[in-house]
């Protein structure tokens, strides 16, 4: 069987060695607690207990919305102001809250204690609390901990911290196990199902997804594991998987037709899928997506886009929007630039693209206004003021909540950018 794959991404060195403007000033981003909103939907028997303040409770409730018909699988244990002497009580209280929760909710199989930034919480040793509670509740419930604190994490890093905390609990694969593919990063179920079908059509398997839909269905990992990152913000998770012997397959991220093809190709090459099988499996979906993107290109080609740092999806998005839709990149800001995981993406960005890492929000706002962007991608906190100044914005958080990966979502992703531009045009008409 030949492992030669027919489609190659055409990239010069692009922005591989491009200078990066590093800023370490005031930043306007959500904290890692935000990840709970999509993670609790993904792992359907997990519960996220934020150990935090009233602010944390407010953030989670307002961002996740209130579910009227279903009991939510997240909550906040509010730790009020306490001195060191009060910490023993806080631990007793935490144990009481967790015990009551588990009694009331027998469907919970995995409980995350999620740390936050108030100093009272920082003083609590949540990893020790998780071990203590796990020892008492296992095997019925496993208790893990990670931090979603805004001091340590931005927006999507909460998912990274959550998944990294799960890696040590994954079973070990047998030493002689055949190579297996692990797709890493929370994806919408519909996207997972599409990828599974494509891999099955190529004859590629076994394929597992991490995080799994059930906490009881953990994939085994080891030296036989080849993993593909589905999200660009999973540095700690990737490191933890590599420390268990798993090997990362370097690829573009599966955004747009080109990104999806290159991402699938990386797996196909590693698993010896023939060029013909790859073509048979992907040609129809690829063609359909290319046609759908061509319609979106009419509205987007030549439009100038500015990215504030927020989700860490900025560089793959910029690559897709410039190469497949003809958009002009004014500045691509990212909270953190992981050069190794983004090497393929950087090589595909147009040479000369202005890249920035971190934020000094006032300076960046000045650059944004001066650049006169047609559309600005930013967090919720900046969107309203910028709209009021006449700029068109796209909320970065929407790009994480919406299924955007894969062929069938490529046009939906493009539409997330064309829709606000068309709305602005109609308002101006």
Residues that bind ligand SF4 (CB under 6 A): 31, 33, 52-53, 55-56, 59, 116-118, 148-150
**What does DSSP assign to residue 367?**
H
Angle between helices 380-388 and 361-371 (to 10 degrees): 40
Are 73 and 135 within 8 A, CB to CB?
Answer: no
H or E element in which residue 426 lies: helix 410-428
In the bound complex, what is the minimum distance in angstroms from residue 104's beta carbon to ligand SF4?
Answer: 25
- Which CA distances in Å does 132 have to 127, 136, 194, 346? 9, 7, 40, 44
In the bound complex, what is the minimum distance in angstroms from residue 383's beta carbon to ligand SF4?
Answer: 18
Which of 157, 277 has the CB closer to ligand SF4?
Answer: 157
In the bound complex, what is the minimum distance in angstroms from residue 159's beta carbon to ligand SF4?
Answer: 15
Return the SS3 of 8.
coil
In the bound complex, what is the minimum distance in angstroms from residue 150's beta carbon to ligand SF4?
Answer: 3
In the bound complex, what is the minimum distance in angstroms from residue 154's beta carbon to ligand SF4?
Answer: 10
Which of 121, 143 has the CB closer to ligand SF4?
Answer: 121
Kindly state the tokens that stand for 16. Answer: 């591989």
The residue number whose beta carbon is nearest to ligand SF4 equals: 150
In the bound complex, what is the minimum distance in angstroms from residue 310's beta carbon to ligand SF4?
Answer: 14
CA geometry: angle 335, 16, 330, nearest 5 deg: 55
- Which CA distances in Å does 32 have to 3, 37, 56, 402, 421? 40, 10, 11, 18, 29
Which of 154, 237 has the CB closer to ligand SF4?
Answer: 154
Q: Which residues pair with 52 in a beta bridge?
A: 78
Which of 55, 127 has the CB closer to ligand SF4?
Answer: 55
Which of 149, 261 has the CB closer to ligand SF4?
Answer: 149
Which of 47, 146 has the CB closer to ligand SF4?
Answer: 146
H or E element in which residue 412 lies: helix 410-428
Phi/psi for 424 (5° steps) reads -65, -40
In the bound complex, what is the minimum distance in angstroms from residue 21's beta carbon to ligand SF4?
Answer: 25
Which of 150, 256 has the CB closer to ligand SF4?
Answer: 150
Per-residue burial over 139-160, b if 16 or more Cβ lie within 10 Å, else e, is: eebbbbbbbbbbebbbbbbbbb
**How many residues in the chain?**
429
In the bound complex, what is the minimum distance in angstroms from residue 115's beta carbon to ligand SF4?
Answer: 8
How many angstroms separate the CA atoms of 183 and 401, rounded?
A: 18
Kindly state the tokens that stand for 258. Answer: 């080109």
Which of 76, 237 has the CB closer to ligand SF4?
Answer: 76
């Amino acid at each position: 069987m030949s492992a030669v794959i027919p489609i190659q991404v055409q990239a010069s060195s692009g922005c591989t060695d491009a200078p990066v403007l590093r800023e370490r000033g005031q930043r306007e981003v959500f904290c890692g607690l935000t990840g709970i909103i999509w993670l609790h939907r993904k792992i359907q028997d997990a519960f996220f207990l934020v150990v935090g303040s009233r602010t944390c409770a407010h953030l989670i409730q307002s961002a996740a919305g209130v579910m009227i018909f279903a009991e939510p699988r997240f909550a906040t244990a509010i730790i009020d102001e306490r001195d060191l002497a009060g910490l023993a009580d806080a631990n007793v209280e935490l144990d009481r809250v967790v015990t009551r929760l588990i009694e009331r909710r027998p469907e919970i199989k995995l409980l995350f204690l999620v740390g936050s930034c108030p100093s009272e919480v920082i003083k609590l040793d949540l990893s020790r609390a998780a071990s203590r509670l796990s020892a008492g509740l296992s095997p019925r419930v496993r208790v893990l901990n990670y931090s979603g604190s805004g001091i340590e994490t931005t927006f999507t890093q909460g998912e990274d911290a959550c998944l990294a905390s799960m890696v040590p609990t994954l079973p070990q694969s047998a030493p002689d196990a055949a190579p297996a593919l692990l797709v890493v990063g929370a994806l919408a179920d519909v996207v997972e199902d599409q990828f599974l079908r494509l891999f099955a059509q190529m004859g590629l398997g076994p394929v597992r997804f991490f995080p799994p839909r059930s906490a009881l269905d953990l994939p085994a990992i080891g030296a036989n594991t080849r993993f593909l990152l589905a999200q660009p913000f999973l540095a700690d998770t990737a490191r933890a998987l590599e420390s268990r012997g798993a090997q990362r397959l370097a690829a573009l991220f599966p955004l747009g037709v080109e990104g999806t093809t290159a991402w699938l190709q990386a797996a196909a090459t590693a698993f010896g899928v023939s060029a013909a099988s790859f073509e048979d499996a992907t040609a129809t979906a690829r063609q359909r997506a290319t046609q759908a993107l061509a319609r979106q290109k009419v509205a987007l080609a030549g439009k100038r886009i500015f990215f504030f740092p927020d989700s860490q999806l900025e560089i793959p998005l910029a690559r897709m929007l410039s190469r497949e839709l003809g958009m002009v990149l004014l500045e691509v800001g990212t909270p953190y630039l992981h050069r190794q995981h983004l090497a393929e993406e950087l090589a595909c960005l147009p040479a000369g693209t202005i890249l920035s890492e971190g934020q000094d929000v006032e300076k960046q706002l000045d650059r944004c206004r001066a650049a006169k962007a047609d559309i600005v991608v930013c967090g919720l906190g900046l969107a309203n003021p910028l709209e009021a100044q006449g700029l068109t914005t796209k909320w970065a958080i929407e790009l994480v909540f919406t299924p955007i990966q894969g062929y069938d979502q490529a046009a939906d992703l493009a539409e997330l950018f064309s829709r606000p531009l068309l709305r602005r045009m109609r308002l101006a008409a």
